[in-house]
Amino acid sequence: MTDGNQTLRVVIPLTIRRRNGRPRILPPAEIDRFAPTAQDPHVLRAIGRAWSWRRQLETGAATTIHDIAATAKLSDRYVGRMIRLAYLSPDVLERLVTHRRPPALSLIDLCAVAERPWVEQGERVFE
């Protein structure tokens, strides 16, 4: 090899997919299976908001879900559904938030699981 006109080209086959309207670059399948799974930031944000709303109700900063919805400029129905995330079992919350293990459910289904007894939640969330 001479130093002059030689060029080294590396090609990595990437896939571009849209997620929530935004392009996302995905690595090849053989690389992706060795990568650690990452938590969806939407789930973490929703859990954080739910705990904030719960704290507002417990401290008296807000008296109803309607007050929270008006302050956040959201619908009462949405706040009422999402606040259920603050009542997930401690085991599920630890795995979601601390260990960053992604749920096997959508965010809406995760809200529905929060209504179940704590002993059933773990097996439903991480099937």
Q: Which two tokens stand for residue 10?
A: 């590396």
Query: pLDDT per residue over 21-32, tens digit each?
Result: 788 777 666 654
- Per-residue DSSP letters for 48-117? HHHHHHHHHHHHTS-SSHHHHHHHHT--HHHHHHHGGGGGS-HHHHIIIIIS-PPPSS-HHHHHHHTTS-
| Domain regions of the chain by residue span | 41-125
CA-to-CA dists, residue 124 to 10, 27, 40, 92, angstroms: 43, 29, 18, 10
Q: Is the pTM of this model over 0.85?
A: no
Please, which residues have CB within 8 angstroms of residue 32's CB and are 6 or more apart in sequence? 26
pLDDT of residue 56: 95
Tokens of 80: 């009422």
Q: What pLDDT digit, counting tens, does each position of 37-83 carry?
A: 566 788 889 999 999 999 999 999 999 999 999 999 999 999 999 99
The dihedral formed by the CA atoms of 72, 78, 83 and 85, expressed in degrees to the nearest 10: -120
